[in-house]
Amino acid sequence: MIHQNQMALKPAIALENVGGLAFNLIVSKLGPSEAAAVACVNKRFKDWASDESLWSIFSFQELRLSSPVDPLGNPCSSFKAAYGAWRQAYGMYPWPLVIRVKNVWDRIKSWLTDNFPEVLPTLCKGASEAELNELEKALKVRLPLPTRVLYRFCDGQQPCSGIRSGNLCGLIGGYSYYNFLVNVFLLPLNVIIKETRDITRSIKFNSPKYIVMAGSFTYTEKMFFLDCEAGQLYVGTKNLLFNQEMMPCVPNRLIRSVHDSRNGPQQDAMLLWLEEHVRRLENGIIKLREEGNYRSISLFPEEAPMCSLATTCGVQVRASAVFAPEFSDFMEATEKYMFAYSIRMSLKPEGCFVHGMNFDSCQLYWRHWIIKSNDNVVDDINGEAVIGLHPLLLPGKKEFVYESCTTSVSSPGSIEGSFTFVPGRLIDPKGTPFEVEVARFPLGEKVKGISRVKLYLSRFGYLNHQTYPNVKNFEEDYFDEELEVAIKSYQVYYHLNATGTLDAPTVLMMVKPRCGYPDKETYQHRDFSLDIGSHYRLFPNRPKWPNRKRHLTYGFGSRFPISFMPSITRAFNRWASATQYFTFSIAKTSRSADLKISFARRAHGDGALFDGRGGVMAHAFTPMDGRLHFDVDDQWAVGSVQTAYDIETVALHEIGHLLGLGHSQYKNAIMWATISKGETKGLTLDEIRGLRALYGT
């Protein structure tokens, strides 16, 4: 009789037989905690689980350590020792939060190293637990967990360090216009205590929960306050001293578990704010700016949709605006919102080309502004020069930049208009004046055409208009947090850079002709075996044809072109021969067919509208429904014709839906959602694996 304990030992003995290399591969897919647990089994497992290559993987995956160092930067004897030092130093905090905060600071320092190294010396070393506790005691607050961890890694900046060297070193950046200058620093703990005590002598907050976290202490004051109870970050308005008026910096719904380490992932506004800031830096949405003798991080957007770009006759104009809460007065009836805007103009290297003639210079003479608030014209300005200047543009030279400001009764709004230039110089004109477009740029987070983007993302599963926090925002041109998240999700799905902005690659992908079935209403196959080549997706609840329906019939609508019918038949035959799960034949009547194929236009009775030429070209439904429709307004052909879509390739894709496959993230798969004119495709192993998973071998 075999004893129960002997039976329990058998799996361990069998696992030992796999060898150290296989063990290393298996444990590397688990994690540090599992590796430590496995090390307790026996000496051999302990030796394997202590392998340096294994812990170098763990250290890089979680902490991005390329060498074994502790949190103070001191070298350790091994990666395992380094990993242990990090866990010990931050053991009082949720480990996923520590990883997330380290990632933020690593990204910030990496960007600064590459772009603005002068800021690095202003960053203070991490605060100790004792220093954090001292602040809490001094100000009678309890810091949110994410903020504590942020300051454990870096105790803010020394204010004003670097200004004397010709740089405005505020980590958060700023803007300037006329005689106003904003440059925001992240404050260290000792300055937080001092500034909070100073400001509370002037501002009588209802409770002592607000502390000063960041500020611009140039001759333009701008202050940020952390609500230590709720975890929200606020920025003061023009009325801060008068009636404690502040604005939240982060949507409240994103803040959670700021004091409870046991209740899911923690994120306060400070962490979210810094993550968004470094994302904008990394993606070039905001950039370094040289202004006179100073360099600084400029908050004027540099990328669409918040920055407009237009080129007329060789003159390029870029324009964007930034909200200035410190000058906004919400008690004012007509001028509530203050916006600073930046105009950048330059002449292309080839010069300006006007009325068939080429000139090597041009000079600004006149400006025309149309300012709108919620699409209503509130100001129409004509005037000479800009801020009293008539810039002379020369080919290929540095942009001429000027900043100004405007107020608005409501937000969002926009500015558009034109500049009038004279070829040559004003004192020596070489031709007749010509107008240069200034494309519309937004004041606030509303951009024309954004509502159509929301409808697109909603149609294909990236946004849910029924659960949108603000229905009005969904229907209008507001570029809000939900849209940014949806754009990121779309970009990840299509292997684009996840910027959250409508950059050129994203827009180009969105305008490609595609299948009408949503991308995100599918179950993603995840293959944890060593075979990682599968990308197929299945529909929710995995609908499929029953075993008794392995032979399916298909029929054509009355207006389906006879010339295309052989292509559809070939598509069915290719599925049958490749998978061997189904056979197909033409039904005696289209009414009796399992699969009904037809051409349709616009609204055609199935709730899935076609949109004319381009856009959605075809769609099909899940198993047991059996409908497949092609858009009659699109151009169709048999085979590769550069001006039309190959109907057999599109049919192969749509038949995949009829059999139970969703869209694939593998670009070469037939179930990839988009197609180009003249493109032909065949079935891949990805689709065969998908049907195998759905119907069995």
Average the pLDDT over 398-418 and give the result: 89
Least confidently predicted of 19-33, 38-52, 541-555: 19-33
The pLDDT-based confidence of 472 (bands split at 50, 70, 90) is low
Distance CA 441, CA 475 (A): 20
Res 6: pLDDT: 41
**Residue 134 falls inside a structural domain:** yes
Statement: residue 16 has pLDDT above 70: no
Q: Are 140 and 222 found together in one domain?
A: yes
Sequence-separated (6 or more) residues with CB below 8 Å from residue 133: none
Q: How far is CA 303 from CA 309, 318, 484, 500, 611, in A?
A: 9, 10, 14, 11, 29
In a shared domain, residues 463 and 425: no
Same domain, 548 and 601: yes
Average pLDDT over residues 589-617: 92
**Residue 613 shares a structural domain with residue 469:** no
- 15 and 150: one domain? no
Q: Do 74 and 121 belong to one domain?
A: no
For the cut 70, the answer to whether the pLDDT of residue 99 exceeds it is yes
Q: Total structural domains in the chain?
A: 5
Is 229's pLDDT higher than 70?
yes
422 belongs to a structural domain: yes
**What tokens does 438 get?**
């200034």
Which range of 47-51, 64-68, 647-651 scores highest in mean pLDDT? It is: 647-651
Q: Are residues 573 and 591 in the same domain?
A: yes
Expressed as residue numbers, the domain containing 40 is 4-89
Q: Which of 59, 89, 119 is the last residue of a domain?
A: 89
Per-residue confidence (pLDDT) for residue 19, from 0 to 100? 56
Mean pLDDT throughout 505-513? 88
Q: CATH number of the domain that 198 lies in?
A: 3.40.1580.10
For residue 647, CA distances in Å to 114, 357, 587, 620, 676 come to 50, 49, 20, 14, 12
Which domain CATH number covers 407?
2.60.40.1470
Give domain status of residue 508, yes or no.
no
- For residue 516, give Cα distances in angstroms to 296, 452, 459, 492, 599: 46, 16, 8, 19, 14
More confident site: 189 or 178: 189
Residue 161 has pLDDT above 60, yes or no: no
Lowest mean pLDDT among 13-22, 204-213, 241-250: 13-22
Find the range with the poorest average confidence among 14-18, 446-450, 510-514. Answer: 14-18
User: How far is Cα 549 from Cα 547, in angstroms, rounded to an integer?
Assistant: 5
What CATH number corresponds to the domain at position 78?
1.20.1280
Q: Does the annotation mark 654 as catalytic?
A: yes
pTM score over 0.85: no
Which stretch of 273-277, 317-321, 612-616, 617-621 has the lowest confidence by average pLDDT?
Answer: 612-616
Which distant-in-sequence residues (6+ apart) come within 8 Å of 400 by Cβ? 344, 345, 346, 391, 393
What is the pLDDT at residue 530? Answer: 29
What per-residue confidence (pLDDT) applies to 638? 95
Residue at 228 is within a domain: yes
> In this structure, is residue 163 part of a structural domain?
yes
* Segment 273-299 mean pLDDT: 91
Same domain, 382 and 455: no
Asked whether 393 and 400 are in contact (CB, 8 A), the reply is yes
- The mean pLDDT of 313-340, rounded to a whole number, is 90
Name which residue leads in pLDDT, 48 or 178: 178
18 pLDDT band (50/70/90 cuts)?
low
Q: Of 89, 120, 152, which marks where a domain is finished?
A: 89
Give the residue-averaged pLDDT of 661-684: 94
Band (pLDDT 50/70/90 cuts) for residue 502 is confident
At residue 531, the pLDDT reads 33
Same structural domain, 464 and 607:
no
Q: Is residue 502 domain-resident?
A: no
Tell me: do 457 and 532 sit in the same domain. no
Strand partners, 358: 353
Q: Average pLDDT over the chain, rounded to whole?
A: 87
Confidence of residue 146 (pLDDT cuts 50, 70, 90): very high
Calculate mean pLDDT across residues 245-262: 81
Q: Would 500 be classed as within a structural domain? A: no
Rounded percentage of the chain residues whose pLDDT exceeds 70 = 87
**Domain end residue (candidates: 60, 89, 118):** 89
On whether residue 222 sits in a domain, the answer given is yes
Task: Give the pLDDT score at 22.
Answer: 58
Task: Tell whether 260 and 197 lie within a shared domain.
Answer: yes
Catalytic member of 445, 481, 654, 687: 654
Q: Write out the binding residues for Zn(2+).
A: 515, 604, 606, 619, 629, 653, 657, 663, 671
Residues 479 and 608 in one domain: no
pLDDT for residue 526 is more than 90:
no
pLDDT at 121 over 50: yes
- The annotation places the binding site for Ca(2+) at 594, 611-612, 631
